Amino acid sequence: CRVCKIAVLSGDGIGPEISRVAVDLLKVAGDIEGVNFDFTDALIGGAAIDATGSPLPEETLQICRTSDAVLLAAIGGYKWDALPPEQRPEKGLLNLRAGLGTFANLRPAVVLSHLADASTLKREVVDGVDIMIVRELVGGIYFGQPRGFRTNEQGQKVGFNTMVYSEPEIERIAHVAFQLAQKRQKRLCSVEKSNVLEVSMLWKEVVTRIGGQYPDVELSHMYVDNAAMQIIRNPRFFDTIVTGNIFGDILSDTASMLTGSLGMLPSASTSDDGPGIFEPVHGSAPDIGGQDIANPLAMVLSAAMMCRYGLNMPQVAEHLEKAVTSALDQGYRTADLFSEGTQKVGCSEMGRVLLKCIHQESPAL
Ligand code: NAD
Ligand code: IPM
Ligand code: MN
């Protein structure tokens, strides 16, 4: 029996509700496959601020560093929105990503056929969409220096950030994206703003150069404003997308609506070595936190990505993925996806449905 050490960072808002569902499923799927998950809960975000004063306590970082993978739900909330930048919940997440060096954030947007009608877009536009967004996660405008507030000569307050990428930072994310594209439809679209920004001119130049090593992948380039429009107009154009930190943030929320709900999108953040972070694309949804109505499927699919990419246990991942499709097949929907003729369930109830689906697939247990 293999033992896998998992750091569970539930965070804020709907975080604890959705991570409970994922952990319960992992236990059962692990049992079936002879894998023993050893879960350690750790504080991050607003919950960590309230308990320790820091959004990423040293103890949490240490637990993550010594785990095989980090399963993270979501952080943030109104309560902490007025804090200065260094003390905000978001800083905990950013410091964790930087601390673990998880520079490659994979955000798949796949339209499951049962949900094609749940999208606000027409079925014929979204049917069959399968996009992989590769977002650079520990650089760009999120981390560039200088940043801050100052007062200008007119005595006015000024806020500023710096969008910066070095050649090695672009090279390593480009390699990840080209190698992923090779395993997919072999089409890679690099998204930037090189008609205006120097940082994007370098991005395009470096991605093009690295592309020389991957002649089997068809490389295209697109400005980010056009890309946002094309994702809505003709999403099937896209196979694999590679882009910087902030553009990837925005485009992944955009792409989520092809799938019917932001509550469907998982992600995997990986480094060259060390544990990855597996977390939904969505946030802590403070507007619905504590009501047991959140969609836990992005979280469950993130746990599946953890098993597949982080722990190399595709058999366990499959139990989770199959449970998700089977629950949707049977018509179960949380409020974000609910429509006439489907069965509305809450978050924990969806968890019970998923558990039943796993057991039905493996009746021996
Ligand atoms: P959000 O993603 O939390 O919510 C946006 C909208 O989508 C809300 O209406 C919410 O109810 C809905 N939604 C999100 N996830 C859902 C789910 N699983 N099921 C059903 N509905 C869902 O984004 P926001 O409201 O802009 O931000 C809220 C907080 O979350 C902020 O503090 C933000 O910084 C933080 N945030 C954290 C992460 C993260 O932890 N990775 C990601 C994004 C935002
Ligand atoms: C995400 C979130 C984070 C980001 C925030 C909460 C720091 O929006 O994971 O998409 O911008 O990266
Ligand atoms: Mn985001």
Distance between CA atoms of 227 and 174, rounded to whole angstroms? 18
Whose CA is closest to 72, among 5, 18, 135, 2?
A: 18
- State the residue for tokens 């007025």: 82
Amino acid (1-letter code) at residue 2: R
Tens digit of each residue's pLDDT (9 = 90 or more) over 326-362: 999 999 999 999 999 999 999 999 999 999 999 998 8
235 CA to middle of ligand 2, Å? 23
Determine if the peptide bond prior to 146 is cis (ω within 30°).
yes
Task: Report, as an integer, the average pLDDT of 152-170.
Answer: 98
> Exposed (0-12), middle (13-18) or buried (19+): which is 158, by Cβ within 10 Å?
exposed
With a pLDDT cut of 70, the percent of the chain lying above it is: 99
Pinpoint the alpha helices (H) of 141-244: 167-183, 198-211, 224-233
Tell me what the pLDDT averaged over the chain comes to: 97
Amino acid (1-letter code) at residue 109: A
Max distance between CA atoms of the chain, in angstroms, equals 74
Q: How many other C-beta atoms lie within 10 A of the C-beta of residue 214?
A: 18
Whether 364 shows a pLDDT value over 90: the answer reads no
Q: Which domains, and CATH codes, for the chain?
A: 1-124+258-365 (3.40.718.10), 130-244 (3.40.50)
Q: Is 249 in the pocket of ligand 1 (CB under 6 A)?
A: no
3-state helix, strand, coil in the chain (%, to 5): 45, 20, 35
> How far from chain centre, in Å, is Cα 215?
29
> How far from chain centre, in Å, is Cα 238?
18
> How far from chain centre, in Å, is Cα 41?
20
Catalytic residue among 38, 81, 225, 329: 225
Residue 365 pLDDT: 52
Task: Report, as an integer, the average pLDDT of 71-89.
Answer: 97
Q: 9 — phi, psi (to 5°)?
A: -110, 95
SS3 278: strand
Distance between CA atoms of 168 and 33, rounded to whole angstroms? 40
Is there a catalytic annotation at residue 214?
Answer: no
Mutate to test the pocket of ligand 2, among 9, 78, 91, 93 (most ligand atoms within 8 A of CB): 93
Q: Is 73 in the pocket of ligand 2 (CB under 6 A)?
A: no
Residue 146 pLDDT: 98
Mutate to test the pocket of ligand 1, among 282, 336, 345 (most ligand atoms within 8 A of CB): 282
Tens digit of each residue's pLDDT (9 = 90 or more) over 269-306: 999 999 999 999 999 999 999 999 999 999 999 999 99
Whether 256 shows a pLDDT value over 80: the answer reads yes
Amino acid (1-letter code) at residue 31: D
Whose CA is closest to 294, among 343, 334, 349?
A: 334
Tens digit of each residue's pLDDT (9 = 90 or more) over 125-149: 999 999 999 999 999 999 999 999 9
Residue 181 pLDDT: 98
pTM over 0.90: yes
Is there a catalytic annotation at residue 142?
Answer: yes
Whether 325 shows a pLDDT value over 80: the answer reads yes
64, 2 Cβ separation under 8 angstroms: no
Catalytic residue among 249, 309, 322, 336: 249
Tens digit of each residue's pLDDT (9 = 90 or more) over 84-114: 999 999 999 999 999 999 999 999 999 998 8
Is there a catalytic annotation at residue 12?
Answer: no
> Exposed (0-12), middle (13-18) or buried (19+): which is 184, by Cβ within 10 Å?
middle
Task: Report, as an integer, the average pLDDT of 161-167.
Answer: 98
pLDDT tier for residue 319 given thresholds of 50, 70 and 90 = very high
Whose CA is closest to 190, among 199, 176, 177?
A: 177
Catalytic residue among 142, 214, 309, 332: 142
334, 345 Cβ separation under 8 angstroms: yes
Q: Which residues on neighbouring strands pair with residue 135, listed in sequence order? A: 105, 243
Q: Which two tokens stand for residue 355?
A: 């558990």
Query: Which residues touch 62 (CB under 8 Å, ≥6 apart)?
Result: none
Residue 114 pLDDT: 86
Q: Which two tokens stand for residue 323?
A: 């449970």
